[in-house]
């Protein structure tokens, strides 16, 4: 019987237990029983059935077509069953491994957790040197590799930009997008003055959660800094959230000016997109999935474009962070790893990946794909294409440090400041640095991270690594 997966917005401990029981009841164990996964095809040939889990919803129709094509044409008698997990993916994976129901190949999640818990198989022992050579120069430690072993591979990246309504900006008297944070504040104020009577506001962010801050902060802060990303200074090996002071002050000023869309404190990303599509928002920050969103999910007739998220002085001292974590991993517990490898190699086929990009489903960070792919046929994608100012940063110890942190996380602290102004920013940053410093020291003492200071690090060295 096929595995049945329960996913909910809030997955309590009880729900996790129910999920584990259902998994156990509905399957004898993915990847743990040699009899499991064998089925008779029409020709009488035994098929090897493997389970593929993914969290990606935006491309599920396209990828199901590819899976169907693989099932129909592969000569190794492999049959892939794809499941799209809507929410709480990491928890579902954890329960699946704990209850011996793990998929054979699965969308990558929290790298450190997956490696430490033994979920990933070592790909360097399963894949050929020729295949792995496609990823030369991209396999960053603690993102794709650990202690000399490869656990997952890069594929697509999220390229972050400031999206703006061209017409609203024009009505406010501007012909070019803002390049500095002061200009962004000024533009937001003027757009609001021009359109408030019609419910138009200059800026929006989804402050329902901390991503309302981290989306613009990761883009602006890292592009403007030569030393830091995710609040971590690579040169000193310590956290310094002062890198976010400028973007936090700009967003706070936008809120104080009344230029932030009302209700931003409870705004999620899809309602934000819906209002942008209706021409009610002048600017916001998000990544390269947006062109597809405004083609299918929220079709719009407004004229919009995108540009680099502004920095304090308009200078690009680093690169805009490209979120390019691992794509898929193979289960260390699967007894069908050979079949999973065949499917993984199919997923990285140059023709498939080029077609995927040309259809606007995602932008690749892989040179062999970008060399083969034509320009994506999707309105608005031009502004998101890789440039010399986009790059993949080394891993930071942020996620591990969070597990040892006492008190509020940095995103929540900055969101509170932006929305209320009820704290002194420098004092808040000093407190964050102290608490994160203590947590990082504890993580290092326990051997949870081996990331140390790199005095020679310069984010400028990342410029040009993904594009021109």
Can you give the residue ranges of every domain in the chain? 13-113+329-364, 159-322+394-462
Residue 119 predicted with pLDDT over 90 = yes
pLDDT tens digits, 310-320: 999 999 999 99
| 159-322+394-462: in CATH 3.40.50.920 | no
Decide which of 338 and 378 is more confident: 338
pTM score, whole prediction: 0.81
Please measure the distance between the N-terminal and C-terminal CA atoms of the chain and give it in whole angstroms: 50
Tokens representing residue 426 in the block? 């420098």
Separation of alpha carbons 231 and 335, rounded Å? 41
Residue 115's nearest CA partner among 325, 404, 389 is: 325
Separation of alpha carbons 334 and 154, rounded Å? 22
Tokens representing residue 32 in the block? 């743990």
Instruction: Answer yes or no: same fold for 13-113+329-364 and 159-322+394-462.
Output: yes
pLDDT at 25: 43
Q: Find how far residue 223's CA is from the centre of its chain.
A: 17
- Domain 13-113+329-364 sits in CATH at 3.40.190.10
pLDDT tens digits, 4-30: 333 333 444 444 444 544 444 444 344
Percent helix, percent strand, percent coil in the chain, to nearest 5: 45, 15, 40
Residue 245's nearest CA partner among 57, 380, 432, 14 is: 432
Query: For the chain, what's the residue count?
Result: 468
Lowest mean pLDDT among 118-122, 257-261, 311-315, 377-381: 377-381
Residue 40 parent element (H or E): strand 38-40
Helix (H, G, I), strand (E, B) or coil at 304: strand
């Amino acid at each position: 019987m096929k595995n049945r997966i329960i996913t909910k917005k809030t997955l309590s401990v009880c729900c996790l237990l129910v999920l584990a029981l259902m998994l156990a009841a509905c399957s004898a164990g993915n990847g743990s029983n040699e009899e499991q996964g064998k089925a008779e095809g029409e020709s009488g040939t035994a098929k090897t059935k493997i389970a593929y889990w993914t969290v990606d919803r935006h491309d599920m129709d396209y990828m199901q077509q590819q899976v169907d094509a693989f099932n129909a044409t592969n000569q190794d008698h492999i049959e892939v069953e794809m499941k799209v997990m809507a929410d709480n993916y990491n928890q579902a994976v954890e329960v699946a491994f704990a209850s011996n129901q793990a998929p054979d190949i699965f969308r990558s999640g929290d790298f450190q957790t997956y490696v430490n818990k033994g979920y990933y198989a070592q790909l360097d022992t399963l894949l050929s040197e020729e295949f792995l050579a496609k990823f030369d120069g991209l396999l960053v430690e603690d993102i794709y590799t650990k202690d000399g072993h490869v656990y997952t591979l890069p594929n697509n990246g999220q390229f972050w930009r400031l999206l703006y309504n061209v017409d609203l900006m024009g009505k406010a008297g501007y012909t070019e997008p803002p390049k500095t944070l002061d200009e962004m504040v000024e533009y937001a104020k003027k757009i609001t003055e021009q359109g408030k009577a019609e419910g138009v506001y200059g800026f929006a962010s989804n402050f329902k959660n901390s991503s309302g801050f981290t989306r613009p902060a990761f883009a602006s802060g890292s592009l403007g800094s030569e030393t830091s990303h995710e609040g971590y200074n690579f040169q000193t090996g310590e956290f310094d959230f002062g890198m976010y002071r400028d973007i936090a002050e700009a967003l706070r000023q936008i809120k104080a000016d009344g230029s932030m869309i009302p209700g931003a404190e409870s705004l999620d990303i899809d309602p934000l997109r819906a209002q942008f599509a209706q021409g009610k928002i002048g600017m916001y920050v998000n990544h390269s999935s947006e062109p597809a969103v405004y083609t299918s999910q929220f079709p719009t007739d407004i004229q919009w474009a995108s540009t680099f998220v502004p920095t304090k002085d308009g200078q690009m001292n680093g690169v805009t962070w490209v979120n390019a974590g691992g794509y898929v991993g193979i289960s260390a517990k699967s007894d069908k790893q050979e079949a999973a490898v065949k499917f993984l190699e199919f997923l990285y086929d140059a023709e498939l990946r080029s077609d995927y990009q040309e259809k606007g489903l995602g932008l690749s960070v892989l040179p062999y794909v970008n060399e083969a792919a034509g320009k994506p046929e999707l309105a608005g994608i031009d502004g998101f294409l890789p440039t010399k100012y986009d790059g993949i940063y080394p891993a930071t110890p942020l996620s591990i440090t969070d597990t040892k942190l006492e008190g509020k996380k940095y995103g929540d602290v900055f969101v509170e400041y932006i929305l209320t102004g009820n704290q002194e920013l420098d004092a808040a940053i000093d407190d964050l640095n102290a608490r994160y410093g203590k947590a990082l020291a504890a993580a290092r003492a326990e051997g949870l991270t081996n990331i140390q200071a790199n005095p020679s690090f310069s984010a400028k060295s990342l410029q040009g690594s993904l594009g021109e």
